[in-house]
Amino acid sequence: MNIPYRPLALGLLVISFSALVLGRAQAGGGHYYPPVTDTLVKEECGSCHLAFAPSMLPASSWKRLMANLKNHFGDDASIDPQAAARITDYLVANAADGAGKRYSGKLLQGVSAANAPLRITELPKWVREHREVPGWEWKHKDVRTKANCLACHGDAEAGFYDE
């Protein structure tokens, strides 16, 4: 019998590579944070900025943030209380220390949930991952703020934050 070794080997290679990538993603390899799927959350949290993935902050942070939308990083982002409650539930359920745990990976390392940090960009792992980005790049007219993930991470809306 003539076994097609080469195509077989190639196929196996492709499969194992995909498994590796997928496995990394699922095990919190660090660069995949599932995007918001809830329509209300997407609409309310995603009209001014990227709707940040709930797995990027602990539940305590989301609660603290949602409790003060009147002063949302200097902007008034208040919404009606019913919508706010629904959004809070979603964020808390999928938080980095909730259902989002398998994606948040090391993002919560050195983070005390009791402190309820509000800025993803101040988490130690975030700072470490971005330490090589020079100051002028943050000030670039297409970036302007560290909250503008999309400026560099083109697939951020799909949840991918690779370099």
Partner 1 sequence: MHHNPAAILLAATLAVLPTGPASAGPREDQLAQYASAAKAANPAFAGFSAERGKTLHTQAFTGGKPDTPACAACHGKDPRAAGRTPTGKSIDPVAVSAAPTRYTDPAKVEKWFKRNCNEVLGRECSPQEKGDWLSFMLTQ
Kindly list the residues in this chain that would bind partner 1 in the complex (CB under 8 A).
Answer: 46-50, 74-77, 79, 142-145, 147-148, 150-151
Percentages of the chain per state (helix, strand, coil), in multiples of 5:
55, 0, 45
Residue 145 CB, nearest distance to partner 1 (Å)?
A: 6
Which residue number, 60 or 148, has a Cβ lying nearer to partner 1?
Answer: 148
Q: Report yes or no: 59 and 95 within 8 Å, Cβ to Cβ.
A: yes
Which residue number, 2 or 47, has a Cβ lying nearer to partner 1?
Answer: 47
What is the 8-class DSSP label of residue 1? -
**Three-state helix/strand/coil letters over 60-83:** HHHHHHHCCHHHECCECCCCCHHH
Which residue number, 56 or 59, has a Cβ lying nearer to partner 1?
Answer: 56
Residue 120 CB, nearest distance to partner 1 (Å)?
A: 13
What is the 8-class DSSP label of residue 37? -
Residue 135 CB, nearest distance to partner 1 (Å)?
A: 18
Residue 24 CB, nearest distance to partner 1 (Å)?
A: 28
